[in-house]
Amino acid sequence: ETGVTQSPTHLIKTRGQQVTLRCSSQSGHNTVSWYQQALGQGPQFIFQYYREEENGRGNFPPRFSGLQFPNYSSELNVNALELDDSALYLCASSLFGGGRGDTQYFGPGTRLTVL
Amino acid sequence: DQQVKQNSPSLSVQEGRISILNCDYTNSMFDYFLWYKKYPAEGPTFLISISSIKDKNEDGRFTVFLNKSAKHLSLHIVPSQPGDSAVYFCAALFSNDYKLSFGAGTTVTVRA
């Protein structure tokens, strides 16, 4: 059974650019949640995808968007990057929406730096 | 608006002694609480949880206590081991929800 993987590990972009981050779910999981962890803070919920549809969204602007594919892998896209978007982006996979957090399995994250 | 707060950014404890991590929350509608542990370059991993209908849950060396009236929970690690050195996050959930609300984390260092 493979765990949650994310790519790339690190990424450097400049302000105004666009970025795509990728997440492969743990085998058998059909739900992916994305979180942003800024330096010195805890992870903040961005959105969740269940069966290729957005299933809930946190307090993030529309320039944060996502996709989930038929194999349940997922992408997080951020347009018009701002300096404050610099953070660790975590994805978590779960089964049936992960109604209880102990069923959410996190990947190692992608460290995004915006210059 | 930070609804889950961990006011101690760091904690240093000697190997074999007790580690006590604290967490406060502001929203009384939270009904499920979790602790996650995070090593560098790894994602958070689930450690232990507690439902609001309980005041204590124990799993080996880890015990979580919940005081609903004070909106406070704590994690006790006894005895502390060097492998426990990590960042610990407190998180909370609303009933039947999946959006984890995290605290800022406490970095625990266990000294030999």
pLDDT by residue (tens digit) across A70-81?
988 999 999 999
Distance from CA of A16 to the nearest CA of B (A): 27
Residue numbers in A near B53 (CB within 8 A):
none
User: Is residue A85 within 8 Å of A108, Cβ to Cβ?
Assistant: no
Q: Which DSSP category does A30 fall into?
A: -
Provide the 3-class DSSP secondary structure of residue B82. Answer: helix
User: Which pLDDT score is estimated for A101?
Assistant: 61
Residue numbers in A near B98 (CB within 8 A):
31, 33, 48, 56, 94, 97-99, 101, 104
User: Which pLDDT score is estimated for A104?
Assistant: 86
Query: A31-37 and A44-50: which strand pairing?
Result: antiparallel
User: Which pLDDT score is estimated for B88?
Assistant: 98
User: Which pLDDT score is estimated for A89?
Assistant: 98
Provide the 3-class DSSP secondary structure of residue A91. Answer: strand
CA distances from A85 to A11, A28, A76, A113, B49 (A): 12, 31, 13, 8, 30
Q: What pLDDT tens digit does each residue of chain B (112 aa) get?
A: 689 999 999 999 999 999 999 999 999 999 999 999 999 989 999 999 999 999 999 999 999 999 999 999 999 999 999 999 999 999 999 877 788 999 999 999 999 9
For the segment A34-54, the average pLDDT, to the nearest whole number, is: 93
Question: Does pLDDT of A1 surpass 60?
Answer: no
